[in-house]
Amino acid sequence: MRRRDMLVGSTALAAVTLASTSRAQNTIVGDIILPLTRERLLSILSDPGRFSLAVDTLRLTLMLSHPATEMANVNFDEVNADYRQRLMQVRQSIERVAAETANLPDLLPPLPDQLEEAVRRAATRLVEVGIAAGAALLREMIDSFWSFLFVLERISGAGAVVDWICGSFPFSVLC
């Protein structure tokens, strides 16, 4: 093999390796990659009904994955009212946050570490309870949950969102 061919071949191999390594660092489960792109976030936020349904489905799945003994002392009326209030805040802020994302890069900045980790744990938990790693349902729930946290973080601040997640059923399992 000539020196030039070897140099070109090794450069190409290095580029492929670096691209796959950087993709692997962002991969959560299957083909889910975070952070989202601005286009994907705006697509999710453009359909608030579907967005809410995906986050509700994730939340219900997390609830159902808890042992019954852990749910015995949960005040579901209080937990549900608090979650609904947060969801309403997000839905009311969608337009403002969507407008703010116009100034952000195409690949959005990641959420603060604890929130990004909560999304990763949610994906892992959903796969553990039987949702296929490559399923469109998993991607929809995780992308919507990430979007939910992105908007909440923008309107409440990262610390308040982390405190809420870690102190609220069933999301506390993600902390």
Domain ranges across the chain? 34-174
Q: Assign 20 a pLDDT band (cuts: 50, 70, 90).
A: very low
Q: How much is the pTM?
A: 0.82
pLDDT, one tens digit per residue, over 86-131 is 999 999 999 999 999 988 999 999 999 999 999 999 999 999 999 9
| Nearest 10 degrees: Cα torsion 85, 91, 96, 101 | 110
